[in-house]
Amino acid sequence: MSATIKDEEIQDQLLQAAKQLFQVHGFRKVTIDDIAKAIGKARSSLYYYYKTKEEILDAVIAAEISELMDAITAAVCRAQSTEEKIEAFFQTQLHTILEKRRFFNALDEGMDAGELSGYLKTKLAVHQQIRQKEGALLSRIITEGTRHGELTKLSHKDQEDLVFVLLSSLHGIKREMVIRNDFSNLESSVHILVRSMILGLNL
């Protein structure tokens, strides 16, 4: 096994252990010693990869974003028509985000006012990163659908606005379901949203 592959495996183990500990205990209560112990390494060996616990959290969140986008992209690639691709995008996004909700909700457990303020800034940055990546993928799907004659051609501005409205609607569906703690209508709600968009664009 090469040193590079071994380093990648250790780094992956480190991030997985940190994620589990953060989810169970919250970010504040977990120490670098806890993470090192969880993977059977000395604390000093972790500094080879990350200098602070905050850097570890950033890496864990980056991995979560990457996992989300990989799941969405894979679902989109399996779909055939533009409508199916958009619906696969939305269904996978909601299911994956809801699965990860426990992890993100647990991070601020026990934080004081200063730490919470910093974490809220991190959450905003994460939200913006996700929206940017999702927006780029959704825009590509719409552009391809237009090129294949499945959607009416839009101006660049109208397409940007459409992407914004669709992602905001998706966020609204998730928020309402979380508030109600009822996800039974997830698939049907997404289907209606996508069907309405497709019909509206082809009037």
Domain boundaries, the chain: 52-201
| Cβ-based neighbours of 111, under 8 Å, separated by 6 or more | 26, 27, 28, 119
Rounded to whole angstroms, what are the CA distances from 49 to 1, 13, 14, 20, 44? 19, 12, 9, 18, 10
Indicate the pTM of the whole model: 0.86
Q: Along the 203 residues of the chain, how does pLDDT read in single tens digits?
A: 555 556 788 889 999 999 999 999 888 899 999 999 999 988 888 888 899 998 999 999 999 999 999 999 999 999 999 999 999 999 999 999 998 888 888 888 878 888 888 888 888 888 899 999 999 999 999 999 999 999 999 999 999 999 999 999 999 999 999 999 999 999 999 999 999 988 887 75
Give the tokens for residue 137: 């993928």
User: Contact at 8 Å (CB) between 58 and 65?
Assistant: no
Q: Which CATH number fits domain 52-201: 3.30.70.790, 3.40.190.150, 1.10.357.10, 3.30.70.330?
A: 1.10.357.10
Main-chain phi, psi angles of 108, to 5 degrees: -90, 10
